[in-house]
Structure 1
Amino acid sequence: MRPIPGPKRSALLAVLTAALLPVAWLSTSGGVAEAAGPHVLLVGTYKGIHGGYRTIQGAVNAAHPGDWILVAPGDYKERQDYTVPSWPSGVWIGKPGLHLRGMNRNTVIVDGTKPGAPTCSSKASDQDLGPSGQGRNGIEVYSKNFSANNVSIENLTVCNFETSTGGANGNQIWWNGGDGGGVIGLSGYTGNYLTATSTYSNGVNYPAGSYGIFSSDSTHGSWNYDYASNMSDSSFYIGACQQRCDVVMNHAHGQFSALCLSSTNAGGYLLVENTECDLNKTGLVSNSQNNDDWPSPQIGLCSSDPKEPQTGATGTKSCTVWMNNYIHDNNNPNVPGNGVSGLAGGGPVGTGMIFAGTEYSTMYHNLVTNNGAWGILVADLPDQESGPANCQGGTWVPAPAGVCYWQAFGNVSLDNQLQNNGFFGNPSNGDIGLATIAHNPGNCFAGDQDPVGGATTQSTDPAGLETNPIYAPTANMCTTPNSGDMAVLGSQALCDTQLVAPCPTLNTLCVYNPNLPCIPAPGFPVNYPRPGTILLSMPPAQTSMANPCAGVPSNAWCKTTTNTSPETPTRMALPAGWAAMVAGAWLVNGRLRRRIAS
């Protein structure tokens, strides 16, 4: 959900100054491995052995396609954007096949604060908004026209690359296939053992970190064991990939952001699994949107292209699937961007998983607990933006409304485990809400349980979503016409989001307009929390790669070539007392892991 398009970048070539250094000097300095084949460029000093480069960008400039760049522990104040301001990123990668890897996830830090500032400082005076205040991105892989395919970034931390005061940039790690171009320009990307965060935001306003780990206009991706937090839009973003996303996000964790995952105009094979979202304003979100992440809409059906996967993870033609995730305690209004950053800022606080204007997607075997508004919300989406492909796939409702209306249909909720959702206590709050006008097909629900491991949930609006045959799927696809509750639930969802107009509560009106009183209007609920004080901090240490030399050609830091893979950490722990009840729910057959080259 991106309210502000990023700047368009020209396809210039990087200045390869370091590549002109004599090869003999590089080999003796530890800068490049002596063996034939891919070279290994070393940044910093590791275990007393000096690499040939002091900056990551210097190594990137010197590298050739297929090379490895290893980075020693240190605080790297990368400032490539001060050399080439048209590329507003600390590290800019524009060539294919590079492998960038830190030697320790928690102590290799790419830091957006000013030179001389403490590592990832939270002080306003230490923040760096770029050479012209345009905002900054951290590590950006720019690949218009497939110029930087197959770049991997692993085992490091990126922090405090902030937006401009107007909200531009602010992405910590970004695979950018040509932002705003409406076509996919990057094929193949990997992000493993990454941490992305920011310790600063201007309250709910900009500057702030915008996205943690981000891909747009890109396909054939894989993210594993990543963590992101403190973002004004979302911890993770996958979007603008039409029905060709072909990406797996596995064992991720997102906290303290407006959204845990934002997935806009994305579809085809897109699998989010074994991921935890907690302490955000809102958890997982999929949506259509009339913005520069065109073409819209979001379509979860498998692509018609025979080179793309033809079956989703549940064995149906629904290729966009969220399964085996743990979505809990997303009730936090005190996050950057709340009420400010477009649709993400307006995401309904207290909601675990949302399909908004989404088509033919599946929620399966997720554990969804302790979300105060709704555990699961499937809703139509009125979008007030005007995008490059104006309202493609939606219905334009002219003035005075002036919105692109996206219907949600063909979606399925299967065998999810729900408990203690809806405790805000407003009308319609509960485990599952469906706020849609009539459509054929509609949206379907089956096997969702509350309490965990117990009976079919009765906490739904409309009532009977799990038992009324008009909401029953056929072979795990939705084929029947139906509609939801656009009266009470529709108004409650809008009240929670404040997308169309402020919903009066005890503290809402005066927060958004100091000339209005902080008095609830009669008949309106007062139980959707609104933002107060925003306090951000560095996350705790995350699991690092057990062997950062795995798969790397022999070099001064990794003496022997190894093809072994890093260890696989165990799956996240379930809450105490629930493991026995849901043990069987985590076993899923037929997962599709195909990676198909363009």
Structure 2
Amino acid sequence: MSHQRIRPASTLLAAAFVTMAAAGASAAVLRVGTWKGRAGDFTSIQDAVDAASPGDWILIAPGDYHERGDYTHALPGGDAAGAVLITKPNLHLRGLDRNQVIVDGTKPGSAPCDSSPDAQDLGPLDGDGHPSGRNGVEVFEVDGVSVENLTACNFLTGAHGGGNQIWWNGGDGTGTVNLNGYRGAYLSATSTVFLGEDAPGAEYGIFASNVNGPGLIEHTYASNMRDAAYYVGACPDCNTRLTDAHAENSALGYSGTNSGGHLIVEKSEWDENTCGIVTNSQNNDDAPSPQDGACPGGGRGPTGSHSCTLFRKNHVHDNNNPNVPRSGTAALGPVGAGIVLAGGRHDTVIGNRIENQGSWGVLVVPYLDTDTPPPVAHCDGGRMDFIAPGWCFYDTFGQEVTRNRFKNVGFFGNATNGDLADLSYPHDPGNCWHGNRDASHEVSSAPDGLETTHRRCGVPNAGDDPLMSRLSNQVLCATELLGPCPEDPDHHYPRATGVQLKALRPQRAMRNPCKGVPSNPWCGKK
């Protein structure tokens, strides 16, 4: 890899799409459905994708599209495929109305995003007669694909994966990165059904894995996911910007397992989830670990430090909700936490507004992975056989938390609940905390006085002991990582009483969906 500094993802991506637009005169426009009385070329989005050539545009008229690309197309290894499966580079998939162009995972003939259990389509049967699961719009290992101005719903898991509503898949489970350059804008992703924690369910809303940008996700909304509303991960240098996102009513608002390098999550809203923003290291098929926000080649990031992964200018609030869909490791997210850095290193949390969080505002902790790893995972960056054989432990260090503003944090009232918390072993460099304020112009922290004792960055230090401290005890109780926590006045965290889904509200659509599209019967010359 070159050690020169990479320009921000948004700049590179804009340049790439300007170049493609300049070449748009030779691109075809394939039209799906009927728009203002004019019939298009296709009634199926997948048929249009199959007929398209690299660089073409696919415009989709309003309608409820029960696509079946996963029934007619296969992926390597038998993995669940996308109902709309894109395997050609540089395609532009754009709906003409974000709220009325619906890529729907329910059975053909069902109402739009039907919530009835009997209406759910669990995908084609495998050789053993088990439903494979389904993904919605899936871009598989091809570069330069944009997906814009539409809604995806009710794509659920099965025996071979699935459960992802809109996914740029650069090689899930391979430990390699095979997708460069992508864009998502004006997208909504949701589910109207929860069948049970161990039943088929919606895992991720807007999802990018095994990618190396430039990538841009903007003006989007996701809700009701039992893993994360948003995910950008399995990318050592993600080169992605996620901005103007809104995540609600999911286990995690954002998840970034084994992400790193150039990655900015900014100017977005995260609320009513169990946990707001979580980035972590993990010894799983999102290899290679660890999560590491350091600039590749020792370069400097936007703040002048050596960190290129930033969580900045977000509004993180009211993530105290246990009654959301939850499953797997995402169910272990600490309820009531705003931003959690778990087993990662060299990230920057700067300039966020964090309000109404019951447990912690920003929590920096190690990550202990107790699951049996797949062959692709080797505990890189962690300590294998820590505590018990087969467990992989990732400490956290080099994190900078600065200039964040807190209000009404820690109201669960347990010991250590408050604005800031650091659970880490001694390391050089340690984690640093400075310039943070709450309404009283001070901050509460565990250990006490973090803003004084851990103010300097790039020097050795430690947080509270990860195994033997009040903070570690409270984190274990909030996550129930090792088992149920007894309810008592010193360990009070809200527990699930029943999953409640949130209805999808109309979202802001593209003002002019014909902008940039070559002339066609639906979009005349401008």
The TM-score with structure 2 as length reference comes to 0.90
Q: CA–CA distance in 1 between the matches of 2:351 and 2:36?
A: 45
Letter in 2 for 1:249: L
Give the equivalent residue in structure 2 for 1:32.
Answer: none
Q: Which runs of 5+ in 1 are unaligned?
A: 1-34, 506-519, 562-598
Distance 1:77 1:156 in 2: 14
State the one-letter code of the partner of 2:513.
Answer: P
Encode CA deviations 1:407-443: one digit per residue, 9 max, x unaligned.
0000000100011111111111111111112111110
Identify the residue that residue 203 of structure 2 maps to in structure 1.
Answer: 210
Q: Which residue of 2 aligns with 1:356?
A: 342
Matched residue, 1:586: none
AA matched with 1:238:
V
CA RMSD between the two structures: 1.6
Letter in structure 2 aligned against 1:481 = N
Corresponding residue of 2:150: 156
Q: Quick check: 1:460 aligned with 2:445? A: yes
The CA distance in 2 between the partners of 1:59 and 1:491, in whole Å, is 55
Assess if the C-alpha contact under 8 Å between 1:410 and 1:442 holds in 2.
yes
| 1:134 paired residue among 132, 135, 160 | 132
Any residues of structure 2 matched to 1:478-493 within 5 Å, and which? 478-486=458-466, 487-493=469-475
What are the within-5 Å matches in structure 2 for residues 55-454 of structure 1? 55-85=44-74, 86=78, 88-132=81-125, 133-143=131-141, 148-164=142-158, 168-220=161-213, 221-242=215-236, 244-304=237-297, 310-337=299-326, 340-342=327-329, 344-385=330-371, 386-387=373-374, 388-397=376-385, 400=388, 402-451=390-439, 454=440
How far did residue 155 of structure 1 move? 0.4
> In 2, distance between residues paired with 1:538 and 1:219?
33
TM-fit CA distance, 1:536: 1.5
The within-5 A match list for 1:446-595 is 446-451=434-439, 454-457=440-443, 459-468=444-453, 471-474=454-457, 478-486=458-466, 487-505=469-487, 525-561=490-526
Find the aligned partners of 2:501 and 2:438 in 1 and give their Cα distance.
34
CA distance in 2, matches of 1:393, 1:185: 22
TM-fit CA distance, 1:552: 0.6
Please give the secondary structure, in 1, of the residue aligned with 2:297.
coil
Which deviates further from its counterpart, 199-208 or 258-267?
Answer: 199-208
- For residues 268 and 397 of structure 1, the distance between their equivalents in structure 2, rounded to whole angstroms, comes to 27
Deviation at 1:525, TM superposition (A): 3.7
Rounded to whole Å, the distance in 1 between the matches of 2:199 and 2:216 is: 30
**Secondary structure, aligned partner of 2:265:** strand
Contact 1:167 1:207 in 2 (8 A): no
Work out whether residues 365 and 416 of structure 1, in 8 Å CA contact, stay in contact via their aligned partners in 2: yes
Identical columns (%): 48
SS in 2 for 1:161: coil
Alpha-carbon distance in 2 for matches of 1:440, 1:284: 26
Provide the aligned length of Structure 1 versus Structure 2: 489
Query: 1 CA distance for matches of 2:210 and 2:160?
Result: 20
Larger gyration radius, structure 1 or structure 2: 1
Structure 1 residue 154: Cα displacement: 0.3
Separation of aligned partners in 2, 1:549 and 1:398: 56
What SS does structure 1 have at the residue aligned with 2:316?
strand
Q: Distance in 2 between matches of 1:399 and 1:420?
A: 36
SS of structure 2 residue aligned to 1:101? strand
Q: Is the 8 A contact 2:317 2:354 kept in 1?
A: yes
Greater mean deviation of Cα atoms: 360-369 or 376-385: 376-385
Distance 1:527 1:167, change over 3 A: farther
What is the identity, as a one-letter code, of the residue corresponding to 2:331? Answer: G
Task: State the one-letter code of the partner of 1:42.
Answer: R
For the 8 Å contact 2:67–2:104, the answer to whether it is kept is: yes
For residues 437-495 of structure 1, give each alpha carbon's deviation from its aligned partner in whole angstroms, at most 9, with x where no partner exists: 211111000010011xx5131x1000000122xx1134xxx333233243110111011
Secondary structure at 1:543's aligned position in 2? coil
Per-residue displacement from partner, 1:75-122 (whole Å, max 9, x unpaired)? 000011122354522100001000000000000000000111111011
1:381-429 CA distances to partner (integer Å, 9 max, x unpaired)? 1111224232111001256464211000000001000111111111111
Following the alignment from structure 2 to structure 1, what is the Cα–Cα distance between the partners of residues 270 and 198? Answer: 23
- Deviation per CA, 1:4-55, whole angstroms, max 9, x where unpaired? xxxxxxxxxxxxxxxxxxxxxxxxxxxxxxx950000000001111100001
The one-letter amino acid paired with 1:88 is A
In 1, the alpha carbon distance for the partners of 2:524 and 2:332 equals 52
